[in-house]
Amino acid sequence: MDELYRSLNPIQKKEFQQQRFHDLIQRSWPGLISYALVWWAIALPRLWYEPTSENLSWLSGFGFLILLCCGLRIRLLRRFRQRLADERAKVPWEIFVGTALNASAWGVIAAVSLLPDTPLSPLVMVMILTTSGICAGGVCSLAISRYLVCMFLGCMLTPSIIVLALGYSEHPVEMAIAGIIFWISMYLISGLPRREYYTASCSNIKLSHQAAYLQELSRVDSLTGLNNRRQFEHLFETELKRASRGRYPISLLLIDLDHFKHINDQHGHLIGDECLKRVATTLSAQLKRATDAVARFGGEEFAVILPGTSEADARQVAESIRQALETLQIPTATENISLTASLGGVSLIPSQEGSARDIIKLADDALYRAKHEGRNRCCFAPGDEPGDEPGVVHEAPAADDTPHGYAISPQSSNA
């Protein structure tokens, strides 16, 4: 078990402890019910057949003691659950104290039944059987914590063992030895379900983390760390539906590095990969909102999703990206490599009938036009603003001018 636990990383260990604490809370509830039900199942028939005042006072007094311990245990469990929810739980002392209260109360009652001339003396055999059953059930429920099992058995059996060992009972002293053997046996038996629990829990945690890692790999481009094509398509479909319901604009930019094949041919693919990584970092730095997303579209192509962004704001973002890539320098052993990029964009308020493929086609056509008209420029579909030179974006405003809009802004008429 220790080997299994040590094989977990720190995050998995914390998750395992949280799961174990939650399971201890769930496994404590059956004991709360069984203590009260078993006691009154013993006491009520006794009061029915021998309704004396002495029996009533003793049996009801012990019953009240059990109910009081159960109530305190419930309060402690709720307090521990709250600490666990607040991530402040390091040691489950509430569970230990609550279990000790219940087990000690029952252990004292079982010891009293061993004493001669008490109202519980006629119930001694019933108490021995029920105590053994509660011990077995408690060991199975609490087996995931060896310390809790040891404490539980000690509180249940120690009072009876003391009474028998010191000769206060009419029963033979050998019963004390039998009680000690029973204690040790129950503790050893608890090791099997504990090992099974550790094996299953550690395996499930490892598998869940591996599944999350594989799912992350399916969404992320391994070279650049950006969203991959599959994740881009999922995000774009989601944002399109949201924009269609909210009737606000969404913009898409497609970015293609100019003459990138020449870089691969002249400097090698390792330098080309380094260029793609630097481009990915630069693109991510240009996006300031949590809702914006950048993805590697394929090869040396990238895509940027700008929800709630009008065409005017998208043009500003596109131009800032173009300028950032134009000033990017990638050092090599012989020289610094400069890059430029062509950008195609589209900005619109999507309709229910529109498809992501059609919008991507519009942006791709705009990108083709930017390539055809000389590269290192931004073009938007389906056309440019009135009065513009075809295919060329406005100069980006200075830093103090209107920035990329962070709120939903009105859509321009030619989108």
Which residues are the active-site residues? 300
DSSP category for residue 121: G
- Please give the backbone phi and psi of residue 381, each rounded to the nearest 5 degrees, phi first: -100, 150
DSSP category for residue 303: E
Contact between residue 104 and residue 134 where contact means Cβ atoms under 8 Å apart: no
Return d(Cα 311, Cα 324) in angstroms, integer: 20
Transcribe 176-214 into DSSP letters: HHHHHHHHHHHHHHTHHHHHHHHHHHHHHHHHHHHHHHH
Sign of CA dihedral 312, 364, 308, 287: negative
Contact between residue 280 and residue 341 where contact means Cβ atoms under 8 Å apart: no
Contact between residue 59 and residue 43 where contact means Cβ atoms under 8 Å apart: yes
Write the CB contacts of 339 (distance below 8 Å, at least 6 apart in sequence).
257, 258, 260, 263, 275, 279, 325, 326, 328, 330
The residue to which tokens 């990915």 are assigned: 280
Contact between residue 309 and residue 348 where contact means Cβ atoms under 8 Å apart: no
Return d(Cα 35, Cα 101) in angstroms, integer: 11
17 alpha-carbon distance from chain centroid: 13
Return d(Cα 285, Cα 302) in angstroms, integer: 14
Return d(Cα 61, Cα 94) in angstroms, integer: 25
CA nearest to 107, candidates 138, 131, 81: 131
SS3 91: coil
Q: What would the two tokens of residue 222 be?
A: 């391994």
- Please give the backbone phi and psi of residue 250, each rounded to the nearest 5 degrees, phi first: -140, 140
Q: What would the two tokens of residue 278 be?
A: 């630097």
Give the gyration radius of the chain's Cα atoms. Answer: 37
Please report, for residues 223, 224, 266, the alpha-carbon distance to residue 334 in angstroms, rounded to integers and kept in the order given: 24, 24, 12
Residues constituting the chain: 415
